[in-house]
Structures are given as C-alpha cells and as structure tokens.
Amino acid sequence: MAPKPTNNKNKKNNPPPRQSLTRFLGSFGMGLLIFFFLIALYSLLSNNQAGGTPESLSQLAADVSKGIVSTIVVDGDNVTATYNDGTTKTTKKEAENALTTTLVNYGVKPNQLSTVNIQVQAPSGFGYWLLTFSPLILSVIFIAILVWFLTRQMRGAGMQAFTFGQSKARITHPDDKKSRVTFKDVAGAKEAKQELMEIVDFLRNPKKFLDVGAVIPKGILLMGAPGTGKTLLARAVAGEASVAFFSISGSEFVEMFVGVGASRVRDLFKMAKQASPAIIFVDEIDAVGRSRGVGMGGGNDEREQTLNQILVEMDGFEPNEKVIVMAATNRPDVLDPALLRPGRFDRRVTIDVPDRNDREEILKIHARKKPFAEDVNLRVIAERTPGFSGADLYSLMNEGAILAARENRTKVSQYDLIRAIEKVMLGPERKSHILSDQEKKITAYHEAGHAVISSVLEFADPVHKISIVSRGRAAGYVLHLPLEDRKLQSKKEFLDDIAVSLGGYVAERLLFSDLTTGPSNDLQVSTALARDMVTKYGMSSNLGPVALEGAGGRVLFGRGVEESAYSEKVAAEIDAEVRSIMTEAMTRAEKAIKTNRKLLEAIAKRLIEVETIEREEFDKILVAHGVTPKKKKDIEPQIVAA
C-alpha cells in the first residue's frame, strides 16, 4: 500500500533560521559601515571650514602688536585674519575665551587691539547647524535603521512579534474577478451545492428572509475527506453571492504567543462585520475545535480560549448582521459538541468522495485549459479512478500534462493520463532505485504471493497489474480491480483482503525461510483492518455486536478523543480476537500458496525477467496453471496490497 500523495502547495517559504541569521548579520554590518562612513564625512567637513594659510595664535598676537593686521573675522572657533597687504591667515581660537581676551593674554596692548577691525559672526548657515546637530541626527538615523532591520529580520524568521493579535485572515473581495470561484468550478457535490444555494440566496437578498422572520443559520460546517473540495466550495459560496470572503486556517489562530488566538478571533469578526455581508471561513477547524477538557496539559488552554471566543462571537451575532461563518473539517467526530449545538454550526453539509459521474465532471473542469489528443476519453479515466478525491483528479490531470510536455508533445494523450493515474496512486516510478539481485528476487516472490492469493480467493479483487519497479516507498506493488465504488464491504471481503495482504509475508517465509522488513506495511494495514472488524463493525463472533470504538478511533498522544469505553479485560479479548483473525487469514494464505506453488514460481520468474506484468499476460499465466481468471465487468484499479 502506498502512502497518499501529500499536498503542500500552500506552505510559505520561510527561510531556515540559520540563513536568516547570516542575512541579519550581513545587513547589521552594512548599517555599521554606513554609520562609520557618515562619521568620517562629518569630521572631514568640520575641519575644512576656512581657507587661507594656517597660523598659530601667538603669531597672530605678535602680528596684531606690530599693527600689520587690518581685520579679524571670528566665526565660531575659526579666526580669519586679513593683513594690510591683503593676505589672509587662519587660526583657531580657544573655545572658552573671547578672542580679545586671548590676544591680551598673549601680550597685545588694548590700544593696538583697537586699530584692528574685529568682527564676530553669529554662528549661522545651514552648514553650521548641520555640523552642530549631525551627531544627534546620525545616531537617530542609525538607531532607526537598526530597528528597521531588526523588525524585518524577525518577521522574516517567522516571528510575528509586531503584528500579533491582528487576524491573519486572507481576504477575497467580491469584485476580485481573478480569484473568484463559483459553483461552476465545483463539479459534483450536488446535495452540498443545493444546501449552500440557500445561503447564497440569503446573502444576495437578505430582506426576503428577514421579512418573513426567518433566521438564517450562523454557522455551516463542511465535512468530507481531504481533497473533496471543501475549501473550494466555501470560496464558491462567496463567489456566487458576491460577498467578501475572510479565510483563515484553524492552526493559524494558535501560533506563538499565548492569548493570541482569542484576540485574532475578535479581530477577524470585527473586520467581517465591517465588510458585511461577508463569509468567515475557518478551514481545518478541528485544530481549535476539538472537544475540550479531555486532553493533557499545556497548549490546550490556548485552544480552548480561542474556541470559546469563536462561540462568544457567534452567539453575539445580530440576526441582521449578514455575516455567516463557514468551517471545514475532515474530522467531524473529534469536534467539541458545543460547536455543533443549535445556533452555532448547526447546518452540516457532507461532501462525499466523488462517484464515477462526478469524477468525470471534475476531470472535465480541470481539462478546460489543456489541449487533448483525439484519443482522450475522460469517461474511461473516471472509471479507472475509484476512491480518487477531487484533489487527486486535479493532480492526475496535471501529471498527465507534465508527462506530455516532458516528451515534447503539444497534446495530452490518453496514455499520458493512464500513466498519471498510477503516478498519483503510488508516487513516481523510481527506476534509479536499483534492487540487488537478491532483493529483486524477494520482491518478486512477495508481490507474486499477493497476486496468487488475489486470484484464488473468492472475494478478493482480481489483479490488474503487478510490478517490482519501486514506486514512492513501496518496493513493488499489485494493482487490483474492484468491481464498483464500494460503499459497503462484507466480512468475507475483509477476511480475503487480509489474506491478500499477508500473501507477501507468507511467500517470503515459505521460500526463503526468513523474513525481511518488506511486509511491515502490509502487516500494519491488515492488523488495523482486523482491529476495526472487531471494534467497529461488530464482526467478531466472540465479542458480538458492539461498537467498542467510534469512527474516530483511538488517538494516543494527541488529544484524547474518546476514552476507551471498555475494561482491560475486554481489551485483552480484543487483542486475542485480532490475533485469531490474523492467524486464520495467514493459514488460509499459506494453504493457497502451497497449493499454487507452481503458479507462484511462474509469476515470480516472469517478474524478475520483465519487472511488470499487465492484466492480459497475467490472465494467460493463470489459465496456463489451471486457474480461471475472475471476470469483472469494469476495470477499476485500486491498491490493496503493495
């Protein structure tokens, strides 16, 4: 079984802390450099004030005594003396004394002094003021630059120290035509759209509803598996109604500082009321909305406060406020009951994983801007992708286009799309991941083990393709073809599925008398399935028809979702029951493999040779060994075991 493709296109690119530190030091150094440069400039300016030949003060005093000096101009500390012959000389006077006092101290007689025309200029001019105040100005500028750099760097490093409290909602304005989404962009989900049309109607024409005294729901909860289009649908409601759309993710409420969540909520609701009519959309609300009071310590308080604030704000809505809160979650089972109470998120809209027709519609939407070759048949692609969510289909279309572009074709062909299905299901082929001969042999027998059991057990899904080209994390894989989009599964199917999962394990043990780490994922998946059979579906004959665990299952170190509703004695019984299901399935798998040993060998040998066996060839191998291939009408691959 391959891991689900993760989808992290929304991640922001914050630089890693190290890098931003060096960047910070860099710009800090830059600031220092500018500072020193300015200081140097300052001292240069202040020294080069007056022209003329420099002279000592005592020389000037002597010259004055001789009577050869005609005028002296004092400007601050600078003294410029003009001689009778027209030459000028400059000197500096002592700062604390007047020039005349100084000259007298140097022995100039008062009557000699009176022959000289002494002019004292008041300090003035731009230059003077600049010089006087520049140290002050420079330090202010320097500090300002420093603070600016600091705040910038801190924000770069992801610390919202200076903006905390403000809600971080992204706002889409109604007249923003480019990012506008409407119901036309959402395929399928007919019931959900119908339900939401009412909300759109109210936002467009509130008077009609208010006049007859109708109270429009304040909160709408969108529930559905990841990638089924909850976020998209919420945006579409805003787009249809042409109202402002405030979107924030639950985890963004609770970030770094305690107490921020609640103030962000207040902020968000205030903004929305100002922009009314508006929609507030809280994505992934389970991040703040988990049931309160059962967890352990720490950050729970913060979440609780945030949640309380949301409830308070929703209760404070006036009927004519025209602000509607939408929220989305894929874990409605863990939500706090207070959120679901009437008057809060009492409207609940479920979005299902798309069925075949919906899948075709979704594919058509994402095919809009892509040039297709003539052979493309989206219906066939839709048939082959049971269990795909809208997001998976979107990425399928994209992968198909990428494959075509890589091979320098201008049109996307059906073959590209078929290959894209497997890529989305299993991750890209890792052809460079070379298995050693022994690994290849083990993987071949492992996958052949799955394949044999799928072919001989009555309720197992037939094989569509086997491969030992590693993909994503799986070393090899077996694709199966279930008959339909299954809504209900029976106990017999589950038991056969478990046996198929164990096929790899059994084959390895039988042939190599040893085990590898290869089957670990198979074991996990099948054990979990066995456990669910016992605790959720009442399929155990010993424990009988009790659901011992809710749909949420058990969460260990996260928030305690549900306290286990059974005693330790029952827990031990569950373990025993799970073990007995697993052992029984293994016995059946062993028996199937032993009786079809030749078939197993044939498949494995062929796999080592060609690495991938498609359905037609596989069926031929089956027939050659006296096994009738299962006849199923539709071809819809699904991974059951890898």
Residue with the shortest CB distance to ligand ADP: 390
- For residue 36, give both structure tokens: 């020193």
Q: Which is nearer to ligand ADP, 391 or 622 (CB)?
A: 391
Q: Which is nearer to ligand ADP, 179 or 628 (CB)?
A: 179
Q: Applying CB under 5 A, which part among 230-238, 386-394, 427-435, 440-448 lies near Mg ion? A: 230-238
Q: Shortest approach of Zn ion to residue 536 CB, angstroms? A: 24
Give the helix ranges, DSSP H, for 157-278.
190-204, 206-211, 230-241, 250-253, 260-274
CB 447 within 8 A of CB 466: yes
Q: Coil, helix or strand for 415?
A: helix
Q: Which is nearer to Zn ion, 281 or 618 (CB)?
A: 618
DSSP secondary structure letter of residue 452: H
CB 2 within 8 A of CB 474: yes
Q: Shortest approach of Mg ion to residue 234 CB, angstroms? A: 8
Beta bridge partners of 478: 466, 641
What is d(CA 420, CA 397) in angstroms, rounded to the nearest whole number? 7
Q: Which is nearer to ligand ADP, 68 or 225 (CB)?
A: 225
Asked if 231 interacts with Mg ion (CB under 5 A), we say yes
Asked if 522 interacts with Zn ion (CB under 5 A), we say yes
CB 577 within 8 A of CB 542: yes
Q: Indicate which single residue of 231, 501, 526, 535 sits in contact with ligand ADP (rule: CB under 6 A).
A: 231
Q: Shortest approach of Mg ion to residue 230 CB, angstroms? A: 5
Task: Find the catalytic residue in 240, 252, 304, 447.
Answer: 447
> Do the strands 170-172 and 244-249 form a parallel or antiparallel pair, or are they unpaired?
antiparallel
Q: Which is nearer to ligand ADP, 145 or 225 (CB)?
A: 225
Q: Applying CB under 5 A, which part among 59-67, 199-207, 327-335, 518-526 lies near Zn ion? A: 518-526
447 is catalytic: yes
Relative orientation angle of helices 390-406 and 356-366, to the nearest 10 degrees:
50
Residues numbered 471-510 forming contacts with Zn ion, rule: CB under 5 A: 504
Q: Which is nearer to Mg ion, 249 or 467 (CB)?
A: 249
- x-or-dash string of contact with ligand ADP, 356-395, rule CB under 6 A: ------x--x------------------------xx--x-
Asked if 400 interacts with Zn ion (CB under 5 A), we say no
What is d(CA 609, CA 626) in angstroms, rounded to the nearest whole number? 22
CB 199 within 8 A of CB 237: yes
Q: Shortest approach of ligand ADP to residue 235 CB, angstroms? A: 8
Q: Coil, helix or strand for 600?
A: helix
Q: Applying CB under 6 A, which part among 67-75, 230-238, 428-436, 583-591 lies near ligand ADP? A: 230-238
- x-or-dash string of contact with ligand ADP, 179-218, rule CB under 6 A: -------xxxx-----------------------------
What is d(CA 400, CA 403) in angstroms, rounded to the nearest whole number? 5
What is d(CA 401, CA 411) in angstroms, rounded to the nearest whole number? 8
Q: Shortest approach of Mg ion to residue 231 CB, angstroms? A: 3
Amino acid found at 578:
V
Q: Which is nearer to ligand ADP, 281 or 494 (CB)?
A: 281
What is d(CA 613, CA 451) in angstroms, rounded to the nearest whole number? 11
Q: Shortest approach of ligand ADP to residue 497 CB, angstroms? A: 27
- For residue 27, give both structure tokens: 């710009």
Q: Shortest approach of ligand ADP to residue 354 CB, angstroms? A: 6
Asked if 228 interacts with ligand ADP (CB under 6 A), we say yes
- Mark 485-504 as b/e (b = at least 16 C-beta within 10 Å): beeeeeeebbbbbbbbbbbb
**Residue 277: cis peptide before it, omega within 30 degrees of 0:** yes
- x-or-dash string of contact with ligand ADP, 484-523, rule CB under 6 A: ----------------------------------------
User: Based on the number of CB atoms within 10 Å of its own CB, is 557 exposed (0-12), middle (13-18) or buried (19 or more)?
Assistant: exposed
Binding site for Mg ion (CB under 5 A): 231
Binding site for ligand ADP (CB under 6 A): 186-189, 224, 226-232, 328, 362, 365, 390-391, 394
Binding site for Zn ion (CB under 5 A): 504, 522, 641
